[in-house]
Amino acid sequence: MPDLLHWFSEMPEPLRTVLSFAGVVAIATLIALAAARLTVRLLGRIVARSRTQTDDILLRQVTGPLRWIYIALGLNFAERAVPLEGAPGEIWRQTAIFLVPALVGWFAIAVLQAASEILVYKADITAPDNLAARRRHTRISILSRIGSLLILFLSICMMLMTIPGVRTVGVTLIASAGVVGIAVGAAAQPALKNLIAGIQLAFTEPIRIDDVVIMSGEWGRVEEIRLTYVVLKLWDERRLVVPITKFLEEPFQNWTRSTSALLGTVLWYLDPASDIDRLRIKLAELVKNNPKWDGRFFNMQVTSMDSWTIEVRALMTAANADKAFDLRCDVREALLAFIRAEMPQALPRRRQLQLDSEKSRAIEETGA
């Protein structure tokens, strides 16, 4: 140990300062990590005593940036304990100033994401009547992404403003800012168009999270709404990615625009001699005994006919699109089974009056 101290004391002053600073930095980093871990544990115990999930969400989001803030504070104390002189000290201080806006922005984004996640958690879209929850979910999803983008933009601007050279160059670029702005605007026109469309969609609400829509001939649910595109989860588990401007510029079907409840339709093509009253009685039995029916309405009517068949239409209501689809399939299959087993005469048949030539002549002579 004395030999090590003697060897250290014989070093040149700049090298000895750097090694001392490196040792203090290592110790400060370990202490900062230990303090951050202790803080997270203490907060975790406090959070565990609460019955709500909001504080758990907040703690989970801020744990990462909080750890790095502790490290930054530890490194700041290390630099004060063993100050660096000359160029190394200037680089260190400039780096520290440069990273402060980054840490502040990261922490602000984490808090914003935690707040949006808490609001989404409170907006339960699994409820039967979830229109208000889906509206809130959609606005939170879009506005939180816009807020995160603005915080990131401001953080980068603040980081660049800490560099003296950038500030000096920025003053000389003011004269050409108009030309640069026009060029950037022309190059980024599609992205800006989609971004503005996303902000407009958040307030006009032509679609919301979990809406049932038909876009480009595809039936699906709105799974995600990003700043520039929308992800639809189709009925067969595929994903359809649609530019957000299409929902503002092109017509599409929204089955859950004002309410989740739907009116389902089932069609049968039967023989004109079918006993419609008997079919109505069976339809009432099938619909009332099906748990997917919401109890609001059902009926059966003959809506059209041609030379060989009649079109029989049944209407029935359900709480949402999924239940309406399943209810229609159940009723269609059950009534077809009933017709096949109990009323085969209701199945379509072609009637043809066959007369031979002699009978035809006899009829004509009798008529004469």
Give backbone dihedrals phi and psi of 239, rounded to 5 degrees, phi first.
-120, 130
Residue 121 has pLDDT above 50, yes or no: yes
Q: What is the mean pLDDT of residues 256-268?
A: 81
Of residues 51 and 266, which shows the higher confidence score?
Answer: 266
| Residue where the block lists tokens 């980068």 | 156
Most confident of 80-84, 86-90, 131-135: 131-135
Distances (CA, A) of 268 to 183, 263, 272, 341, 351: 61, 17, 12, 16, 19
Residue 108 has pLDDT above 60, yes or no: yes
Topology, domain 143-256: SH3 type barrels. (2.30.30)
Residue 126 has pLDDT above 80, yes or no: no
User: If residue 239 lies in a helix (H) or strand (E), which one and from where to where?
Assistant: strand 239-243
Q: DSSP string covering 181-229, please?
A: HHHHHHHTHHHHHHHHHHHHHHHH-SS-TT-EEEETTEEEEEEEE-SSE
Residue 165 has pLDDT above 70, yes or no: no
Reported confidence tier of residue 185, pLDDT bands at 50, 70, 90: low
Q: DSSP string covering 305-327, please?
A: E-SS-EEEEEEEEESSHHHHHHH
Lowest mean pLDDT among 43-52, 130-139, 165-174, 290-299: 165-174
For the chain, residues classed under CATH 3.30.70.100 are: 262-346
CATH no. of 262-346: 3.30.70.100
Q: What is the pLDDT of residue 211?
A: 84
Judged on CB neighbours under 10 Å (0-12, 13-18, 19+), 186 is exposed
Q: What is the mean pLDDT of residues 336-346?
A: 91
- Number of CB atoms found within 10 A of residue 65's CB: 19
Q: What is the pLDDT of residue 130?
A: 63
Q: What is the mean pLDDT of residues 58-79?
A: 80
Of residues 146 and 341, which shows the higher confidence score?
Answer: 341
Q: What percent of the chain has pLDDT over 70?
A: 74
Q: What is the pLDDT of residue 320?
A: 80
Reported confidence tier of residue 83, pLDDT bands at 50, 70, 90: low
Q: What is the mean pLDDT of residues 133-153?
A: 80
For the chain, residues classed under CATH 2.30.30.60 are: 143-256
What is the tens place of the pLDDT at every residue in 34-64?
Answer: 888 888 888 888 877 777 777 777 888 888 8
Of residues 353 and 216, which shows the higher confidence score?
Answer: 216
Residue 217 has pLDDT above 60, yes or no: yes
Q: What is the mean pLDDT of residues 166-176?
A: 49
- Mean of all residue pLDDT scores within the chain: 77
- Number of CB atoms found within 10 A of residue 252's CB: 13
Distances (CA, A) of 251 to 226, 240, 246, 254, 342: 20, 17, 8, 10, 45
Reported confidence tier of residue 177, pLDDT bands at 50, 70, 90: very low
Which tokens go with 261?
């409840």
Q: What is the mean pLDDT of residues 310-324?
A: 88
Of residues 281 and 263, which shows the higher confidence score?
Answer: 281
